[in-house]
């Protein structure tokens, strides 16, 4: 199980999401999303990395990606963004029987739910809660069909602790989490994770394989 320290950055407390992109992008402890769990079927590994930091009230995640094709046809929250060029953050707070999945395509469109498993008790976050998830995408926010070449893109997201049921004045010592890069309906499908997943077929909804984020 992988372990990563979430650093507190005082500047994030008053930062806009664009300013947060600069602050988190300047951190030097990038983690690799580089575990190819199903090499026989899906061997492609885009260069995908992340930083995660926190303010007094929220997580800030900065994704950095290089890949040979990009796609972003979905522009409405709760659309199936995993079919586009996508990065994801799943997490579970201590003592909870549910976990959250936050999935973002490369223009920042988000799918987010709280659930017990891939199929059990799936509860999409409300429009009001979705509006609290701030995003800044280097590619802008206009949808586009797949492009092939050599592309670098970044995405910075802010996820308030309140959405996760975390009391900002009483933070847990750690939470369980995993980070992913995928693109189910791109011309080269891929499924890559930060913390390894030991199951036969691609499945990111496996909290038993989450790593640990130390607060």
Helix (H, G, I), strand (E, B) or coil at 15: coil
The CATH number for 207's domain is: 2.60.40.1190
* Structural domain count of the chain: 1
- Where residue 28 falls among pLDDT bands split at 50, 70, 90? confident
User: 99-115: per-residue pLDDT in tens?
Assistant: 999 999 999 999 999 99
Report the pLDDT value the prediction gives residue 25, as an integer from 0 to 100: 87
pTM score, whole prediction: 0.97
Q: How far apart are CA 203 and CA 193, in angstroms?
A: 10
Of 1 and 214, the structure prediction assigns the larger pLDDT to 214
User: 118-174: per-residue pLDDT in tens?
Assistant: 999 999 999 999 999 999 999 999 999 999 999 999 999 999 999 999 999 999 999
Domain that holds residue 7: 3-214
Q: How far apart are CA 2 and CA 211, in angstroms?
A: 5
């Amino acid at each position: 199980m992988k372990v990563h320290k979430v650093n507190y950055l005082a500047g994030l407390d008053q930062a806009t999401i664009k300013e947060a992109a600069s602050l988190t992008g300047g951190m030097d402890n990038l983690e690799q999303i580089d575990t190819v769990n199903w090499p026989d079927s899906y061997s492609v590994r885009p260069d995908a990395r992340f930083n995660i930091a926190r303010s007094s009230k929220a997580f800030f995640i900065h994704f950095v990606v290089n890949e040979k094709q990009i796609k972003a046809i979905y522009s409405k929250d709760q659309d199936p963004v995993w079919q586009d060029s996508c990065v994801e953050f799943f997490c579970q707070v201590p003592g909870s029987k549910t976990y959250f999945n936050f999935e973002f395509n490369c223009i920042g469109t988000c799918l987010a739910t709280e659930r017990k498993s891939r199929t059990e008790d799936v509860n999409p976050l409300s429009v009001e809660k979705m509006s609290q998830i701030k995003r800044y995408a280097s590619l802008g926010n206009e949808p586009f069909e797949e492009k092939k070449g050599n592309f670098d893109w970044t995405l910075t997201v802010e996820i308030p602790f309140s959405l996760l049921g975390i009391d900002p004045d009483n933070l847990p010592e750690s939470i369980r989490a995993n980070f992913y890069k995928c693109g189910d309906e791109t011309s080269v499908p891929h499924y890559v994770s930060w913390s390894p997943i030991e199951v036969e077929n691609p499945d990111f909804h496996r909290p038993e394989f989450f790593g640990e984020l130390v607060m």
